[in-house]
Structure 1
Amino acid sequence: MKSYQTYARSSVSMSTDERFRKTLQQLFAQNQIDYIIETGTWLGTGSTKTIATTVEGKHQPKAYYTIEGNLTFHTIARFNLRKWDFVKPLWGDTVAKEQALKFIQQDEALHHHEDYPDVFIDTLDNPVQFYTDEVEGKLGKNPIINAVDWFGDTFLNRKEDLLRTLLIRVQDTRPLVLLDSAGGIGWLEYQTVRDTLGNRPYWLILDDIHHLKHFRSLADVQKRNDFRVIDYSLTDGWMVAEHVAV
């Protein structure tokens, strides 16, 4: 693999890509989607805001659930997204933490990243430890974020396995699922969606399809006859697809 820091467009969000915006507009114009599940809210100003702006009004869903694992970012996102009452920011883990840590420790793509020369990765320096630290919330901390995390872990109920829980709740409604969470568990999140929803119809958006996060997810979608790729961009790293019952 190669370092994501060398990627000239590494700071470009898929939400700023005009082709992605047009694909979204067409998707929502042609289909009534009542439930959206997103992993990775961050500050709510990227894909969450883009989708909320696109669907508000006549295409407005019943609920747009967006999951963020960092309590500071979640709190800021709640403020940034307050305009849209159908957007439901949730704080917690998309998958169970122990499951995520075990997945990272056993991921052959991390242990043999040199076998994938065209795929980006956040670091080539002990990536297993890097993504372990990411899941455990040890990356990029400052005193304020540390204090907020301590408060949340001490006094609040941090939920786990939120992705599967939400998928089961809306599984028969043909939901839209957008996966853009922690880099080391993208493939795990995709498998969670695929296995939980099974043969049911749904829409799927992947971010970072040229990255460790979802290069395997993209390959799996492309080879399966129960997925129809609507559009994708390797340059900007996103894909929109439809899963159909077969």
Structure 2
Amino acid sequence: MKSYKDYPRQSVSMSKDDVFQSTLKQIFTENQIDYVIETGTWLGTGSTQTLARAFSPGRLPKAYYTIEGNLTFHTIARFNLLKWPFVKPLWGDTVAKEKALHFIKHDEALLHHEQYADVFIDTLEDPVRFYTNEVEGKLGKNWVISMVDWFGETFLSRQDDLLQNLLIKHRDDRPLVLLDSAGGIGWLEYQTVRDTLGNRPYWLILDDIHHLKHFRSFNDVRTRADFRVIGHSLADGWMIAEHLA
């Protein structure tokens, strides 16, 4: 794999791509989508706001769930998303931490990343440890984040398996699922969506299809007869698809 630091367009967000935005607006104009399930809120200023703005006033969703594992980012996102009352930020793990850690430690693509020459990865130096630290919340820490983490661990109840729980709750509602996953568990999250929703209809958006995160997810979608790829960009790393019943 290649270091993502060397990718010349690494700062480009799918949410800023004009084709991505126009494709979204067309889907939302032609279809009533009542529920959105997103992994990876960050500060709520990227894909979450892009999707929220793409809905026409007369066809707003009933709920847009967006999951963030970092309590500091989740708290900031709640304020940034107040303009859209249908957006429901959730704090917790998309999949159970033990399941995520087991997946990372046994992921063939991570253990043999040198075999995937055209795929980007966040680091080539002990990527298993890097993505383990990411899931455990050890990356990018400062005293503010550490204090907020301590408060959350002491006084709040962190939820886990939020992705699967929401999928089960809304599996008959033809939800739109946006996977802007943590870098090391994108393939795990995609499999969770695919296996939980089964042959039901739904919409799927993947971010970073040229990255370890979702290169396998993208390849799986485009080779399956039960998916229709609506649009994608390898340069900007996104894909929108429809899963057919």
TM category, shorter? over 0.9
Equivalent residue, structure 2, for 1:134: 134
Offset of 1:164 from its aligned partner? 0.2
Offset of 1:56 from its aligned partner? 4.7
Equivalent residue, structure 2, for 1:218: 218
Task: Say whether residues 1:146 and 2:146 are aligned partners.
Answer: yes
The separation in 2 between residues aligned to 1:116 and 1:37, in whole angstroms, is 30
Offset of 1:173 from its aligned partner? 0.6
Listed one character per residue, the Cα deviations across residues 125-154 of structure 1 (whole Å, up to 9, x for unaligned) are 000000000000000110000110111011
The separation in 1 between residues aligned to 2:88 and 2:216, in whole angstroms, is 29
Aligned residue for 1:58, secondary structure, equals helix
Equivalent residue, structure 1, for 2:193: 193
The separation in 2 between residues aligned to 1:69 and 1:149, in whole angstroms, is 10
Equivalent residue, structure 2, for 1:119: 119
The separation in 2 between residues aligned to 1:43 and 1:68, in whole angstroms, is 9
Listed one character per residue, the Cα deviations across residues 18-62 of structure 1 (whole Å, up to 9, x for unaligned) are 110011011101100000000000000000000111115112000
Amino acid at match of 2:129: Q
The separation in 2 between residues aligned to 1:204 and 1:236, in whole angstroms, is 17
Q: How does 1:71-150 map to 2 (within 5 A)?
A: 71-150=71-150
TM-score of the two chains, using structure 2 as the length reference: 0.99
Offset of 1:104 from its aligned partner? 0.1
Amino acid at match of 1:97: K
The separation in 2 between residues aligned to 1:130 and 1:136, in whole angstroms, is 10
Offset of 1:75 from its aligned partner? 0.2
Task: Say whether residues 1:28 and 2:28 are aligned partners.
Answer: yes
Task: Say whether residues 1:38 and 2:43 are aligned partners.
Answer: no
Aligned residue for 1:152, secondary structure, equals helix
Equivalent residue, structure 2, for 1:58: 58
The separation in 2 between residues aligned to 1:93 and 1:194, in whole angstroms, is 18
Q: CA RMSD in A?
A: 0.5
Offset of 1:77 from its aligned partner? 0.2
Aligned residue for 1:9, secondary structure, equals coil
Amino acid at match of 2:22: K
Aligned residue for 2:225, secondary structure, equals coil
The separation in 2 between residues aligned to 1:192 and 1:153, in whole angstroms, is 26
The separation in 2 between residues aligned to 1:121 and 1:91, in whole angstroms, is 26
Offset of 1:181 from its aligned partner? 1.8
Equivalent residue, structure 1, for 2:232: 232
Amino acid at match of 1:244: L
Amino acid at match of 2:86: F
Q: Which runs of 5+ in 2 are unaligned?
A: none
TM-score of the two chains, using structure 1 as the length reference: 0.99
